[in-house]
A and B are shown apart, each in its own frame.
Chain A
Amino acid sequence: MDKKPNGAAVAAYISAMLGLLVMGTVHTMTGASASFSTWVLSIGKLWIPNAQGIGPYSGKETFLLVAWILSWAVLHMLLRKRDVKLAVPVVVFVVGMALATLFVYTPFIDFILGK
């Protein structure tokens, strides 16, 4: 059996990380601006039932999904036939996941927003 290029795997993992990083970034920005938070809620209301009940969280989930799926589609098209060295993508993935985690941790958000 022919060895499959690893580009599709890189696309899958990097896009998952990007989706979570975008969600964390949006969450942090809602802490900085009430009007942005209202706009994020309006995005969630576009498709999530009872989005008002769960507030801006609905929009943050939406950003996660959209960033994840869109970036996966783009990266998959770009990388699916390529075999790449994994050291750099793995480091990018790990650092991105660490940042995504910090961006949903309130004491860190308060620190960077100077609260």
Chain B
Amino acid sequence: MAEKSTRSIGDPSPIVTVVTWAAVSLFLILVALLTAPVSEFFGGSSLAIIGATHGLLATLGVVVGTVASYLGYRLFTGKIKAFGDLKILAAVSTLIAAATVVFGNWIYIAYRAPGGPRAFFMENNPEIHEVFFEFKEFIALFPIPLAVATTYVIWRYGDQLIENKALRTWVGIAFAVAWAGLMIAYLLGAGITKLRSV
């Protein structure tokens, strides 16, 4: 039997709930921006905002990518119910991954600049750059083509994927590889930034 709506007059609708939540959040953010020393928090680097944007996008990418990968796992097992959500999240993950790399390229200039983190690592502990950072900068690119291909496959085949075990298995593998790349890049990036930031 279909679930009967129990909302009565006076209950908040989903739209009212979301708008209220957004308004209160924006108010609190505004208060924080006006009262907290935000510029001190970002640091004095000329690329502080770019670096912060790269970090925020990477964090958002990990969150959205993890949710999308979970739905990808549900597709892999043939038990997905939120296929529409998967289509949207796969596309959003792709865009976030690409934007993160664009901002990463930007701060990579500061990383490589004379006196920058690379010079510091090469002088004090070359393996940090040669093994960990080198791997991080390339593995961070892996999710982009995989996410684009996966988004394309999900949108092209739609509901047919659910019935196609072989293809949905491949989609599941791609999700797993892309998510691993995302996590490795994120964790190495956070670790290297902790040792020496731009």
Contact = CB atoms under 8 A, between A and B. Distances in A.
B142 A20 contact: yes
A90 B170 contact: yes
Contacts of B130: 106
Contacts of A1: 160
B105 A54 contact: yes
B142 to A, nearest CB: 6
Given A12-B153, A15-B149, A61-B141, A90 B173 contact: yes
B121 interface: no
A15 B164 CA distance: 21
B86 to A, nearest CB: 15
B84 interface: no
The secondary-structure label for the interface of chain B is helix
A70 interface: no
Interface residues of B, number: 31
B152 interface: yes
A12 B109 contact: no
A73 B187 CA distance: 34
Contacts, number: 91
Contacts of A106: 130-131, 134-135
B157 A107 contact: no
A50 interface: yes
A87 B135 CA distance: 30
A99 interface: no
Nearest to B131: A106
A64 B157 contact: no
The secondary-structure label for the interface of chain A is helix
A100 B105 CA distance: 20
A107 B139 contact: no
Nearest to B127: A106
Contact of A105 (B135, B156, B160, B173): B135
A104 B167 contact: no
A61 to B, nearest CB: 7
Given A16-B148, A55-B112, A23 B170 contact: no
18 contacts: A1-B160, A12-B149, A13-B146, A13-B149, A16-B174, A17-B145, A24-B138, A27-B138, A53-B109, A54-B112, A57-B105, A57-B137, A64-B141, A68-B145, A86-B167, A86-B170, A89-B170, A101-B139
Interface of A: 1, 3-4, 6, 8-9, 12-13, 15-17, 19-20, 23-24, 27, 48, 50, 53-55, 57-58, 60-61, 64, 68, 86-87, 89-90, 93-94, 97, 100-101, 104-107
Interface of B: 105, 108-109, 112-113, 130-131, 134-135, 137-139, 141-142, 145-146, 148-149, 152-153, 156-157, 160, 164, 166-167, 169-170, 173-174, 177
